A and B are shown apart, each in its own frame.
Chain A
Amino acid sequence: MITKKDVLHVAKLSKLEFNEDEIDAFVENMDSIVGYVNTLSQIDTSGLEEELTAVNLDDLRQDEVQPSLPQESAILNAPKKRNGGFSVPQVVE
């Protein structure tokens, strides 16, 4: 069962905010979807090891410098920029 509390917690993790109606709709929507995906719990997967395709150390990227973007391109799409950087509200540490 998905509760309102669950929805609010997940919304906080997701950095999303909703009005009351939306939250109620989410409780209902997510409950039916989660109920559906929960059918997996009935499948016996014991003894199944996750098989991983690994990459050998030797096939990883060589440590060679590639060109970076020019600073103008890096910040081109930034909604707010200052002094060659991305501007955000004051971060209190």
Chain B
Amino acid sequence: MKYDTVIGLEVHCELKTQTKCFCGCKNNFGDEPNSNCCPVCLGFPGALPVLNKKAVEYAVIAGLAFNCSINNESVFERKNYFYPDLSKAYQISQLEKPLCVNGYVEINVDGKPKKIRLNRIHLEEDAGKLIHDGIGGTVVDYNRGGVPLIEIVTEPDISSAEEAVAFLEALKNTIAYTGISDVKMEEGSLRCDVNLSVKPSDSVVLGTRTEMKNLNSFKAVYRAINYEQKRQIEEIEDGHKIVQETLRWDDNIGESKSMRSKEDSQDYRYFPDPDLLPVYISNEQIESLKNSIPKLPSELKQIYLGYGLSDYDASLLVESKAISDYFNEVLSYVNEPKIVANFIINEVLRKLKECNENKMKAQELSELVTLVAKKEISATAGKQVFEKMWETGKSANVLVEELGLKQVNNDDELLSYVVAAIQNNPQSVADYKSGKLSAIGFLVGQVMKASKGKANPQKVNEMLKAELEK
């Protein structure tokens, strides 16, 4: 039998504010335990939360970037449960009136666009960190407790591991462009839970779903989905029922284990937090936040296509904000989009795979691009100069001089190469004359070789034609 997989994701993303969501403590990763804490985030008796404006703005920006409607009025609620990482034994979150509702993220599936709908994006506080020291105890560090998080909840529109990863990549990339988060999965600033069920393709009834937690990389998400859909199909085919439960993915052994079943599922007793007022955001405020968002990858791609770049090249350039920023910066010095794009895609991106640091300043690259654009050096020579610039840090102009790569445009000098090529290659000349016009390419190659790459190939082509037609 054929089965469909139905997947919904819940993505948690830490916001890069200076301070925590409800107190003025530093929002910073990697400090001494409990050193970025105050009575509020430690849940001391009598302490009260005060909402961070920036956190709300960032959550709204996320909503706008993913095409959500923003609620003018939204409410913070308490989600009550006991766990040592939760200092107040409740998490301040949003349930009935979140900041953002009804958005979507567009992904590519087999070359076709597909919209993954978002149910909501809400703002909440992160929990602290449990450190297991291996000597029979757990130590709680509340530095992360109270850090602002957005939770992005999709509709069950995802139907495979590939789509899930494409969704997460698009999500991560767009968030990175907005600047509201570091989106580092390895530091836990981006986390993801998977809700998954399977059903026979010809059935309209949804199957029982499970929830998988502890997915710490895109690869883990991919593997976990494939594992879980296979497991569920096997269970059904063996005549078993799927149990609604929460599973914990273990990436080391590539299996998921049950954490708790629905029977002992929590009753969170949500109710509006009486310490916090509902937040009102006017349409004007929403509009001004919208205007503050930098250009997002989808918009940038359209602009780049307008420059005459191919779809492939444009897509590559918007895969990272650092790269598209770099591209835009080089363009601000020299308006040659195609040449710049070629250098970035073929040279810079290749180099960045070897080392993470971009050693070439935009202005330096623009000088090289100018030389190529003005045909002072050939494209081949350009690549050579790029290599040397990356290695030595010297400027393009200096290197062109040092390496003697300046393109030969002198007619007398070029003519002597052309005449020599015609004399030395009678067969190609004969081919050309008999109508095989492509033979001229070989002759151009010979001239380039003789000139050590310095001849202007276009000019050589013209001169060869003129000589051969004589």
List chain A positions with a Cβ less than 8 A from chain B. 13, 15, 52-58, 60-71, 74-75, 82-91, 93
- List, in ascending order, chain A residues with CB within 8 A of B56's CB: 57, 60
Q: For the complex, what is the distance from the CA of A74 to the CA of B43, rounded to whole Å?
A: 10
Residues of B353-397 at the interface with A, using a CB-CB cut-off of 8 Å, are none
- List, in ascending order, chain A residues with CB within 8 A of B280's CB: 54-57
A88 with B140: in contact, given A69-B37, A71-B32 (CB under 8 Å)? Answer: yes
B200 beta carbon closer than 8 Å to chain A = no
A86 with B84: in contact, given A54-B279, A65-B24, A91-B132 (CB under 8 Å)? Answer: yes
* A62 lies within 8 A of B53 (CB): yes
- List, in ascending order, chain A residues with CB within 8 A of B278's CB: 52-55
B139 beta carbon closer than 8 Å to chain A = yes
What's the nearest-Cβ distance from chain B to residue A84, in Å?
4
For the complex with contacts A63-B19, A89-B137, A89-B138, 14 further pairs of A-B residues with Cβ separation under 8 Å are A13-B269, A52-B75, A52-B278, A56-B282, A57-B285, A58-B285, A61-B51, A63-B54, A64-B18, A71-B34, A75-B34, A86-B139, A91-B132, A93-B214
- List, in ascending order, chain A residues with CB within 8 A of B132's CB: 90-91
* The one of B19, B33, B82 that contacts A85, using a Cβ cutoff of 8 Å: B33
* B17 lies within 8 A of A90 (CB): no
Residue of A nearest to B15 (CB): A63
- Most B Cβ at <10 Å: residue of A15, A68, A75, A89: A68
B57 beta carbon closer than 8 Å to chain A = yes
What's the nearest-Cβ distance from chain A to residue B365, in Å?
36
What's the nearest-Cβ distance from chain B to residue A93, in Å?
7
* B138 lies within 8 A of A90 (CB): yes
* The one of A52, A58, A68, A87 that contacts B138, using a Cβ cutoff of 8 Å: A87
Residues of B52-92 at the interface with A, using a CB-CB cut-off of 8 Å, are 52-57, 73, 75, 82, 84
* A83 lies within 8 A of B133 (CB): yes
Contact residue range for chain B?
A: 35 or more
- List, in ascending order, chain B residues with CB within 8 A of A56's CB: 279-282
A54 with B139: in contact, given A83-B33, A83-B133 (CB under 8 Å)? Answer: no
Which 3 A-B pairs rank lowest in CB-CB distance, beginning with the nearest?
A66-B24, A85-B139, A63-B54
Interface of B is mostly: loop
What's the nearest-Cβ distance from chain B to residue A54, in Å?
4
Can you list 8 A-B contacts (CB < 8 A)? A54-B277, A61-B51, A63-B18, A64-B18, A66-B38, A67-B24, A70-B35, A83-B131
* B73 lies within 8 A of A54 (CB): yes
- List, in ascending order, chain A residues with CB within 8 A of B18's CB: 63-65
- List, in ascending order, chain A residues with CB within 8 A of B139's CB: 82-83, 85-88
B14 beta carbon closer than 8 Å to chain A = no
Q: For the complex, what is the distance from the CA of A4 to the CA of B388, rounded to whole Å?
A: 82
* The one of B33, B38, B53, B136 that contacts A90, using a Cβ cutoff of 8 Å: B136
A68 with B277: in contact, given A82-B139, A85-B131, A86-B84 (CB under 8 Å)? Answer: no
- List, in ascending order, chain B residues with CB within 8 A of A63's CB: 17-19, 52-55
Residue of B nearest to A59 (CB): B53
* B53 lies within 8 A of A57 (CB): yes
* A69 lies within 8 A of B137 (CB): no
Residue of B nearest to A52 (CB): B278
What's the nearest-Cβ distance from chain B to residue A85, in Å?
4
B437 beta carbon closer than 8 Å to chain A = no
* B267 lies within 8 A of A13 (CB): yes
Q: For the complex, what is the distance from the CA of A60 to the CA of B53, rounded to whole Å?
A: 5
* The one of B32, B39, B57, B248 that contacts A84, using a Cβ cutoff of 8 Å: B32
Q: For the complex, what is the distance from the CA of A41 to the CA of B144, rounded to whole Å?
A: 43
Residue of B nearest to A55 (CB): B277
- Most A Cβ at <10 Å: residue of B33, B56, B133, B136: B33
1/0 contact trace for B10-37 toward A, CB 8 Å?
0000000111000111100000111111
- List, in ascending order, chain A residues with CB within 8 A of B53's CB: 57-58, 60-63
Q: For the complex, what is the distance from the CA of A31 to the CA of B39, rounded to whole Å?
A: 37
- List, in ascending order, chain A residues with CB within 8 A of B450's CB: none
Q: For the complex, what is the distance from the CA of A53 to the CA of B277, rounded to whole Å?
A: 7
- Most A Cβ at <10 Å: residue of B24, B54, B282, B285: B24
* A68 lies within 8 A of B38 (CB): yes
A61 with B52: in contact, given A15-B82, A55-B280, A91-B130 (CB under 8 Å)? Answer: yes
* A84 lies within 8 A of B73 (CB): no
B126 beta carbon closer than 8 Å to chain A = no
Residue of A nearest to B53 (CB): A60
* B285 lies within 8 A of A55 (CB): no
Q: For the complex, what is the distance from the CA of A74 to the CA of B55, rounded to whole Å?
A: 25
- List, in ascending order, chain B residues with CB within 8 A of A13's CB: 267, 269
B141 beta carbon closer than 8 Å to chain A = yes
Q: For the complex, what is the distance from the CA of A85 to the CA of B130, rounded to whole Å?
A: 9
B322 beta carbon closer than 8 Å to chain A = no
Residue of B nearest to A56 (CB): B280
1/0 contact trace for B120-144 toward A, CB 8 Å?
0000000000111100111111100
B414 beta carbon closer than 8 Å to chain A = no
* The one of A55, A88, A93 that contacts B137, using a Cβ cutoff of 8 Å: A88
Q: For the complex, what is the distance from the CA of A57 to the CA of B137, rounded to whole Å?
A: 43
- List, in ascending order, chain A residues with CB within 8 A of B37's CB: 68-69, 74
